[in-house]
């Protein structure tokens, strides 16, 4: 869990990042470093941490609520900024179901989000049996339009960019995917901008095009 200090609130704009449950958030580091730099927008980056190994999606979303309350602007004129990778998008969407966010202007970038689930055979791989046990088991029961029905649309003043990867490390994956999430499964209800990049799931956050797209969209 993370908290905000008063100096942070008064300084540069806060950017909340929510990593994937794979890799302990290491994949998010290039984006965090870039977006906190003068070339990336000079954001004050705040990473939200959750425990997908022990927590359900609902429990992770409930923990995120505290951060959303902290960054919620006092007036509707100030925007909030959020970047997610992978499962982090589901945690955010779960949290937004439980908070009054409809009047908050938000710039949101979702990178490789499993909005309609992961590739099933990936979740069933033996190497995943020891990774994010609770979240993995839950995702096996939440696929495709089950997640659409549960999580619904984003709040009306949220402008969203979805970046999907289409370069799996193993060429056997079809239809187009990043090796973990298919391009089709990155879609969700509502309106948003959708981009596809030639990058695998665990490297897409470091792709130069992802960094540029995220910066330009957040600052737009």
**Per-residue pLDDT tens for 166-210?**
987 666 556 899 999 999 999 999 999 999 999 999 999 999 999
The answer to whether residue 24 sits within a structural domain is: yes
Interval 92-121 mean pLDDT: 92
- Say how far residue 190 (Cα) sits from the centre of its chain: 16
Domain hosting 90: range is: 6-219
Q: Which helix (H) or strand (E) holds 171?
A: none
This prediction has a pTM of 0.90
How many Å apart are CA 26 and CA 70, to the nearest integer? 25
Instruction: With respect to residue 44, please indicate whether it lies within any of the assigned structural domains.
Output: yes
Examine the pLDDT at 7 and tell me if it is beyond 50.
no
Phi, psi of 114, deg, nearest 5: -85, 60
Q: Using a pLDDT cut of 90, give the percent of the chain over it.
A: 65
Range 80-106 average pLDDT: 95
Count structural domains, the chain. 1
- Looking at residue 8, its pLDDT comes to 46
Q: Give yes or no for residue 94 having a pLDDT over 80.
A: yes
C-alpha distances in angstroms, 97 versus 65, 73, 87, 152? 10, 18, 16, 8
State the average pLDDT over residues 102-107: 92
Q: Strand 44-47 to strand 80-85: parallel, antiparallel, or no bridges (unpaired)?
A: unpaired
Q: Is residue 190 part of a domain?
A: yes
> How would DSSP label each residue in 56-109?
-HHHHHHHHHHHHHHH--SSTTS-EEEEEETTHHHHHHHHHTTS--TT--EEEE
Residue 122 within a domain: yes
With beta carbons less than 8 A apart as the criterion, state whether 106 and 68 touch: no
In whole angstroms, what is the distance from residue 213 CA to residue 85 CA? 14
Given a cut of 80, whether residue 13 has pLDDT beyond it is: yes
What is the structure's pLDDT at 24?
75
Which neighbouring-strand residues pair with 195? 163
Which DSSP helix (H) or strand (E) runs through 165? strand 158-165
At 59, phi and psi to the nearest 5?
A: -65, -40
| 82-86: average pLDDT | 98
CA distance 5 to 44: 12
- The sign of the dihedral angle between the CA atoms of 56, 58, 61, 65 is negative
Q: Which of 145, 135, 136 is nearest to 115 (CA)?
A: 145
Query: Does residue 1 belong to any structural domain of this protein?
Result: no
CATH number at residue 148: 3.40.50.1820
With respect to residue 117, please indicate whether it lies within any of the assigned structural domains: yes
Residue 43 lies in a domain: yes
Q: What is the pLDDT of residues 17-76, one digit of tens each?
A: 999 987 778 999 999 999 999 999 999 999 999 998 899 999 999 999 999 998 887 766
Q: Is residue 199 a part of any domain in this protein?
A: yes
133: pLDDT strictly greater than 90: no
């Amino acid at each position: 869990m993370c908290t905000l200090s008063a100096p942070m609130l008064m300084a540069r704009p806060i950017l909340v990042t929510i990593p994937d449950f794979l890799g302990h958030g290491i994949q998010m580091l290039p984006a965090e470093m870039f977006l906190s730099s003068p070339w990336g927008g000079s954001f004050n980056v705040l990473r939200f941490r959750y425990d997908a190994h022990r927590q359900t999606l609902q429990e992770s979303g409930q923990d995120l609520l505290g951060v959303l309350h902290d960054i919620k602007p006092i007036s509707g004129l100030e925007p909030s900024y959020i970047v997610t990778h992978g499962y982090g998008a589901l945690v955010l969407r779960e949290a937004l179901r439980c908070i009054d966010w409809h009047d908050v202007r938000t710039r949101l970038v979702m990178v490789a989000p499993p909005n309609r689930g992961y590739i099933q055979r990936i979740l069933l791989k033996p190497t995943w049996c020891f990774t994010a046990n609770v979240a993995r088991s839950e995702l096996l029961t939440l696929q495709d339009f089950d997640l659409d029905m549960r999580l619904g649309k984003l709040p009306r003043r949220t402008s969203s960019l979805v970046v999907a990867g289409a370069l799996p490390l193993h060429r056997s994956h079809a239809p187009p995917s990043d090796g973990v999430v298919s391009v089709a499964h990155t879609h969700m209800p509502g309106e948003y901008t959708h981009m596809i990049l030639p990058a695998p799931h665990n490297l897409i956050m470091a792709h130069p095009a992802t960094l540029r797209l995220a910066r330009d969209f957040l600052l737009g």
